[in-house]
Amino acid sequence: MIDLKNVERSYKTGHTETWVLRRINLTIREGEFVTIMGPSGAGKSSLLNALALLDDSWTGEYWFASTPVHSLNRKQRADLARQRIGMVFQSYHLLDDLTVAENIDLPLSYKNLPSKDRGGMVADILDRFQIVAKKDLFPNQLSGGQQQLVGIARAVVHAPSLLLADEPTGNLHSTQAREIMDLFVELNKAGTTIVQVTHSEENARYSKRIIELRDGWMTRDEAPQPLPSEVGAQ
């Protein structure tokens, strides 16, 4: 689904050029659940932003389901992202003056769908995530976990092929974090390709592949190591 070839990204400040991504060559197949890890400043978020088509300033080749993203202009990239990609943020980034249902409806409103269809899609997602009772509440009336749930619902309401999550459990406590990760596994089983950025080893184990970045270089690309308890159980 995703094919990156020699993707690089740098920031110029004055006379200094800082490289945040160095010769990234990466292939992610459809249906994979991939974790990107690394220390702070390794380039994780930069890679995620490039995958999400939020960042235009990288060089190299980026193929998204055989579409050459590197050849598309800004508008075409935005159209592609709108159709095929969903994003989950660490800080949820829900809009405070919109209800839960309205927040979930937001990405649908940009797709020129009839409001009847949109209503149906929102209702399905609310039901699927078991947050129907909360549909008229505002974000500040929800707990952190519930807000992140709504964030994920918003990201998947338009059935994207690719779900990107930037530290999705960073602001949650462990119980909530587990619930969120279980949800990701379910979505992945249903066919959504998921790429998450996380610091948490535990969260990384929910995925099937870990990519490690250090100083912008890809240093590791392998299956997650099982916990000693899991090894014993095996």
Partner 1 sequence: MVAVAIPWREQLNDLNNHQSAFLTLVARLKPGVTRPAAEASLAPLWHSLRAYELTLYKNHSERFKHNFLDTSHLKVIDDSRGFNPDRLNLQKPLAILMSMAGLLVLLCAVNVATLLLLRAANRAREMSMRYALGARRGRIISQLMIEGALLGVLGSVSGLFLAPVVARILVRIITNSDPGAEPYSASVDMRVLLFTLGVSVLATLFFSIAPVFHFLRPDLTNSLRQNTGTLSKDSQRFRKLAVGAQIALSVLLIGGAGLFVRTLNNLRHEQVGFRTDNLIQFGLSPSDSGYGEERSVEIINSSIAALSQIPGVTAVAGNNDPELVGDSETSNYSIQGYKAAEDEKMNFEEPRITPTYFATIGQPVLAGREFTTADTKGQPKVAVVNLAFAKRFFGTPQNAIGRQLAEGGGNVPFDITIVGVVGDTKHTDLRTKLGPAVYMPYLQQKHPSGLMIYLRTARAPETIEPVIRQTMRQLDSTLVVNDLRTMEAQIDHSTSDERALAFLAIGFASLALVLAAVGLYGVLAYSTEQRTREIGVRLALGSPRSVIVMLVVREMAVIAGIASMAAVPAVIALARLFQSELFGVTTFDPLTLFTAVFLTVFMLSIAAALPARRAAAVEPMQALRTE
Q: Assess 110 for contact with partner 1 (CB under 8 A).
A: yes
Tell me how crowded residue 63 is: count the other CB atoms within 10 A of its CB. Answer: 16
Q: Assess 64 for contact with partner 1 (CB under 8 A).
A: no
Which of residues 54, 65, 121, 137 is near partner 1 by CB under 8 A?
54
Q: Assess 145 for contact with partner 1 (CB under 8 A).
A: no
- Least CB distance from residue 166 to partner 1, whole Å? 9
The size of the interface with partner 1 (CB under 8 A), counted in residues, is 20
Q: Assess 52 for contact with partner 1 (CB under 8 A).
A: yes
Cβ closest to partner 1, residue 112 vs residue 229: 112
Q: Assess 95 for contact with partner 1 (CB under 8 A).
A: yes
Tell which positions 154-193 bind partner 1, by CB under 8 A. 154
Tell which positions 189-218 bind partner 1, by CB under 8 A. none
Q: Assess 106 for contact with partner 1 (CB under 8 A).
A: yes
Rounded CA-CA distance 22/196 in Å is 20
SS3 assignment for 183-218: HHHHHHHCCCEEEEECCCHHHHCCCCEEEEEECCEE
Instruction: Check: CB of residue 69 under 8 Å from CB of residue 62.
Output: yes
182 forms beta bridges with none
Q: Assess 49 for contact with partner 1 (CB under 8 A).
A: yes
Nearest to 92 by CA among 81, 106, 79: 106
- Least CB distance from residue 180 to partner 1, whole Å? 19
28 forms beta bridges with 2
Nearest to 27 by CA among 74, 54, 61: 61
Q: Assess 72 for contact with partner 1 (CB under 8 A).
A: no
- Least CB distance from residue 161 to partner 1, whole Å? 14
The alpha carbon of residue 200 and the mean position of all alpha carbons in its chain are separated, in whole angstroms, by 15
Q: Assess 9 for contact with partner 1 (CB under 8 A).
A: no
Q: Assess 107 for contact with partner 1 (CB under 8 A).
A: yes
Which of residues 13, 140, 175, 229 is near partner 1 by CB under 8 A?
140
Which of residues 12, 96, 133, 232 is near partner 1 by CB under 8 A?
96
- Least CB distance from residue 162 to partner 1, whole Å? 13
Q: Report the interface residues with partner 1, using CB under 8 A.
A: 49, 52, 54-55, 78, 81-82, 87, 89, 91, 93, 95-97, 106-107, 110-111, 140, 154
